[in-house]
């Protein structure tokens, strides 16, 4: 192998870019949210798509498979705009915890979810994000066997108490750049035939709930830090959002509910915390869904103002910058 070929191989193996652009992956988790009327969920999804369209962003939307047929009218629009449709599990129920599920149950869920989504959209599904971003080496092995190119369920160096994972020791030590996971650990480099593309964090996570706590100026500072890191190391910037968070007054309703004893008692059970994290975290939210929409619009415009930023989907990044799976 000559020197240039060796350098290219090194770039791909470490997840660094072949070119000088800064890849930004905008990713949306389309959770079931069955307590929200179907028409409202469709409106929220269209709102997220419109936000991306205004900035020329091609994003990845991770859909939970069972309720995905509610979005059939939106799929054509998404594909026409160049978005990618990924898998976000089968049910998103409390039982779908990929850090704890038995292997057989994981296999059944992943196969059913993949088949259902592929039947709905008429093309292969290549990107996965697990519900509640809970994953395991077993999960990644099964995804590789089912033809997935990439997973984005690890939040490297995220340390906070507002995640459904609480303090995940695996996240603390996981590689920051894209990596092929180890067969014995989702949080170590190895040789599994799938890429892990971590959600960006610098202790503070680069996700849509963060501006509700920290405000827009802090999110811009975080993006600048991540941008500088990407310029230096080639690491992609991965932003995680939820269309449902644009619901107006959602925070106020939850705050009132937290002080009802029968609800508060459920929130503090070990089983609830293990799956959903500390629900009183919503008391930290300073803005409602309408303000979050405005902040997100401004944040996307700010990211797009950087001349070297290139918005890509998860699978596009994996194929073009990491060489897919060989």
Within-domain flag for 282? no
Within-domain flag for 172? yes
Within-domain flag for 315? yes
Within-domain flag for 177? yes
Domain of 133, CATH number, reads 3.20.20.370
Within-domain flag for 13? no
* Domains contained in the chain, number: 1
- How do strand 150-151 and strand 127-128 relate by DSSP bridges? parallel
Helix (H), strand (E) at residue 276: helix 270-276
Copy the structure tokens of residue 154. 């690890």
Question: Per-residue confidence at 280, pLDDT binned at 50, 70, 90?
Answer: low
Beta bridge partners of residue 305, listed in sequence order: none
Residue span of the structural domain in which 152 resides: 21-250+287-321
Question: Per-residue confidence at 214, pLDDT binned at 50, 70, 90?
Answer: confident
Q: Are 318 and 324 in contact (CB under 8 A)?
A: yes
218-222 mean pLDDT = 96
130-142 mean pLDDT = 96
Within-domain flag for 293? yes
Within-domain flag for 277? no
> Lowest mean pLDDT: which of 38-42, 134-138, 151-155, 168-172?
168-172
169-178 mean pLDDT = 91
pLDDT at 283 over 70: no
- Helices 72-80 & 38-54 angle (0-180, nearest 10): 0
Give start and end residues of each alpha helix (H) in the chain: 3-14, 38-54, 72-80, 103-121, 137-145, 169-173, 210-214, 216-233, 250-258, 261-267, 270-276, 289-304, 314-321
Up-side HSE of residue 151: CA atoms within 13 Å toward CB? Answer: 32
Within-domain flag for 88? yes
């Amino acid at each position: 192998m000559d020197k240039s070929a060796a350098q290219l191989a090194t770039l791909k193996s470490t997840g660094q870019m072949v070119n000088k652009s800064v890849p930004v992956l905008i990713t949306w988790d389309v959770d079931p949210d069955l307590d929200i009327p179907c028409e409202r969920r469709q409106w929220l999804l269209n709102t997220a798509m419109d936000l991306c369209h205004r900035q020329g962003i091609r994003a990845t939307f991770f859909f939970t498979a069972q309720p995905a047929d509610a979005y059939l009218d939106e799929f054509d629009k998404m594909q026409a705009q160049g978005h990618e449709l990924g898998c976000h599990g089968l049910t998103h129920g409390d039982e779908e915890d990929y850090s704890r599920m038995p292997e057989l149950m994981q296999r059944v869920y992943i196969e059913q979810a993949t088949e259902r989504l592929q039947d709905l959209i008429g093309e292969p599904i290549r990107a996965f994000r697990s519900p509640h971003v809970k994953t395991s080496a077993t999960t990644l092995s099964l995804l590789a066997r089912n033809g997935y190119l990439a997973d984005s369920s690890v939040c490297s160096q995220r340390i906070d108490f507002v995640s459904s994972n609480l303090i995940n020791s695996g996240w603390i030590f996981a590689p920051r750049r894209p990596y092929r996971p180890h067969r014995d650990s989702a949080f170590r480099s190895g040789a599994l035939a799938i890429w892990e593309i971590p959600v960006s964090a610098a202790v503070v996570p680069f996700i849509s709930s963060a501006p509700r706590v920290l405000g827009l100026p802090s999110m811009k500072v975080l993006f600048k830090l991540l941008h500088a890191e990407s310029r230096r190391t080639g690491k992609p910037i991965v932003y995680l959002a939820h269309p449902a968070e644009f619901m107006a007054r959602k925070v106020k309703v939850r705050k009132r509910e937290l002080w009802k004893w029968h609800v508060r008692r459920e929130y503090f059970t070990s089983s609830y915390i293990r799956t959903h994290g500390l629900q009183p975290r919503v008391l930290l939210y300073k803005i409602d869904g309408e303000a979050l929409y405005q902040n997100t619009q401004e944040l996307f415009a700010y990211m797009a103002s950087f001349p070297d930023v290139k918005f890509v989907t998860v699978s596009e990044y994996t194929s073009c910058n990491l060489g897919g799976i060989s």
